[in-house]
Each structure stands twice: as structure tokens, then as C-alpha cells.
Amino acid sequence: MKVIFLDIEGVLVTSRNTSNVATIDSGTAVQPDIFDKVAVQNLDRLLKETGAKIVVSSFWRMGIPKANLILMLKLAGIKNPPVIDVTPFVWDNNLKRTNRGKEILKWLSQHPFIEEYVVIDDCGYEKLEGVPPERYIETTMHSGFGTEDAYQKAVEILRD
């Protein structure tokens, strides 16, 4: 199985698309127009081309049931979002925040059958402790996953 560890804000929700980007919490309604259309199209293409499944690693997973995350991606324009799971929360007590790298590695250790994976995130590699750099695609809040370079790199990683 191939997996995409997916952040949302800075990947599918960008400043290029909307001027009022806000972090979601469990009580926030999601509007489909906050999603970057090009980034969503690239993710949809990637899913179709590689057959990969999605594991949501975004902080948006906090308090939002998987069914709602799937609905959110449908509203964004992904026809059949193959969301299979979310990463567990692993808190870094020294930094008083979650540690995205440790969360991804913990999920992978619980799912040893994963053939290939890619991490698409705008967090910066320094926050992905333990994740091999060749598995990471860094996006920006401006363009998210809306560039052809990011798309092609993700395809290459998932085809290795």
C-alpha cells in the first residue's frame, strides 16, 4: 500500500486562494471555497495515478471524526477521498506542541505493510524528526500542493 501523509493548511488551503485562512477546530464549519483548486486537483491526480491512500497528519484531525475529514475533502473536490486513518498525537513536552515526525513514524510502526509513502506538509523539515528527507515534499502557505514540481516529486516518491 502507498500512503500520503497529508497536512491541510499550507497544502490544500493556501493564501493564494483566500485572504481569510483560519485554523480549523472541532467546532468550525468548513467552507469548500477555502481550498486551493489547483492544489486539490494535484492531489486528486496523485491519488488516481498512484493508487495511494491518505493518512491525515494535519492538526485539523484534532476533534474531527474521520468521516468529517472525508466529507471535507469531498467538498473540496476530491471525488472519492481514500482517507484510511489519521496519525496519533505525539506531544513533544520540550516544545509544548505535537511532533509531526514522531506521529508519522509511530503510525508507520503500527502499519508495517506500507510499501511507499510521502509526507506533504508546510511545517518545515526540522519538525519531521526521523522522517527521511527524500520522503518529504515541502509546500508553502502561498502555493501549497499547487505546483507541478511538487506533484511530479510526489509521483516519483510513490513510484520508487
Instruction: Give pLDDT tens digits for 29-45.
Output: 555 578 999 999 999 99
Q: Note the pTM of the prediction, 2 decimals.
A: 0.89
Instruction: Give pLDDT tens digits for 57-101.
Output: 998 888 788 898 899 899 899 989 999 999 998 877 765 667 899
| CATH code, residues 2-159 | 3.40.50
Q: Say which residue, 6 or 32, is predicted with more confidence.
A: 6
Supply the DSSP string of the chain, one letter for each residue. -EEEEE--BTTTB-TTT-S------TTPPPPGGGS-HHHHHHHHHHHHHH--EEEE-SGGGTT--HHHHHHHHHHHT-SS--EEEEPPP-EETTTTEE-HHHHHHHHHHH-TT--EEEEEESS-GGGSTTS-GGGEEE--TTTTT-SHHHHHHHHHHHH-
Domain extents in the chain: 2-159
